[in-house]
Amino acid sequence: MSQPQVLVLRAPGANCDAETGYAFERAGARVQFVHVNQLLESPRLLKDAQILGLPGGFSYGDDIAAGRILANQIRHHLFDAMAEFKAAGKLLLGICNGFQVLIKSGLLLADVHGEAPATLTGNASGKFEDRWVQLKVTSDRSAFLQGISSLYLPVAHAEGRFVVRDEATLTRLWDNGQVALCYTSPSNLNSASVGYPENPNGSQANIAGITDETGRVLGLMPHPERYIDRTHHPRWTRGEGTSPGDGFAIFQNAVRYFA
């Protein structure tokens, strides 16, 4: 198996970069951590990588809105380089704050008539949500989710509510197979409609993750890097959990993609 190079993008306030890099390393990749200022100075750093990871955290303190400042840096200074990266058949993964950045930069869902078709905004509960959630994979399009039907992962965010500009956008995302993950009920994985706390943020249609049209860009609010070992499970001492943890398969799929 070839060993892909992963570039994990760091920014002020990011706090899940080490865990994300470790998960990719455990899956068999080589990892390089690059600060956004380095990338702004040398966008060519992207050329040597096959996978770009945007980790969770609170980039730039989530000033203005979660992920907005880093997203604007990408939109106005790095968009062409990242669009070229994507067009070259490479993979992009945005986790939590990384998902917010991908959405608000236009890298995940292209603008329509100069406006973003969707965004991630404040949780319907009006508070920070830190809990474990049950997820179901709702599309086979994403390269990161191949062979996965469900996931049990933690969330930790204040602005994770996925909303679309209009119903036509939501219909298009479903029809294109771009709705990749949905919150569901632990007791009924086929449940099509759940409320709080199963849907921790009030996302429309219970959406927890979206992929682009190619399936090579994935953004999700839950944290797969926080459950790659059975001991990460909140009840592992009671015999629960899997080995490896549910989230590890996402990183394995990314590495296998370049086998």
**How do residues 167-201 score in pLDDT, each as one tens digit?**
999 999 999 999 999 999 988 888 878 999 999 99
Whether 182 sits among the annotated catalytic residues: the reply is: no
The whole model's pTM is what? 0.96
Whether 225 sits among the annotated catalytic residues: the reply is: yes
Q: Which of 19, 129, 159, 225 is catalytic?
A: 225
What are the φ/ψ torsions at residue 39 (nearest 5 degrees)?
-70, -35
Do residues 244 and 228 lie in contact, with contact meaning Cβ atoms separated by under 8 Å? Answer: yes
Q: Which of 96, 129, 157, 182 is catalytic?
A: 96
Do residues 244 and 257 lie in contact, with contact meaning Cβ atoms separated by under 8 Å? Answer: no
Residue 143 tokens read as: 């390269």
What are the φ/ψ torsions at residue 92 (nearest 5 degrees)?
-125, 130
Rounded to an integer, the average pLDDT of 33-58 is 97
Q: Which of 16, 198, 223, 233 is catalytic?
A: 223
Give, as one character, the DSSP assignment of residue 44. Answer: G
- pLDDT at residue number 108: 97
d(C-alpha 99, C-alpha 220), whole Å: 6
Average pLDDT, the chain: 96
- pLDDT at residue number 250: 98
Please give the C-alpha separations between residue 225 and each of 21, 26, 209, 247, in angstroms, as whole numbers.
9, 11, 15, 6
Q: Does position 1 have pLDDT exceeding 60, yes or no?
A: no
Whether 19 sits among the annotated catalytic residues: the reply is: no
Do residues 33 and 21 lie in contact, with contact meaning Cβ atoms separated by under 8 Å? Answer: yes
Q: What is the largest CA-CA distance in the chain?
A: 53
Do residues 104 and 76 lie in contact, with contact meaning Cβ atoms separated by under 8 Å? Answer: no
Rounded to an integer, the average pLDDT of 2-30 is 96
Residue 209 C-beta-side C-alpha neighbours within 13 Å = 38
- pLDDT at residue number 114: 84
Q: Reduced to 3 states, what is the DSSP secondary structure of residue 87?
A: helix
Rounded to an integer, the average pLDDT of 87-97 is 98
5-256 carries CATH number 1.10.10.10: no
Strands 161-164 and 150-157, by their bridges, are: unpaired
Give, as one character, the DSSP assignment of residue 113. Answer: T
Contacts of residue 19, Cβ cutoff 8 Å, sequence gap at least 6: 55, 225, 226
Best CA proximity match to 129, nearest among 211, 214, 79, 199:
199
Element (H, E) at 31: strand 30-35
Domain-by-domain residue ranges, the chain? 5-256
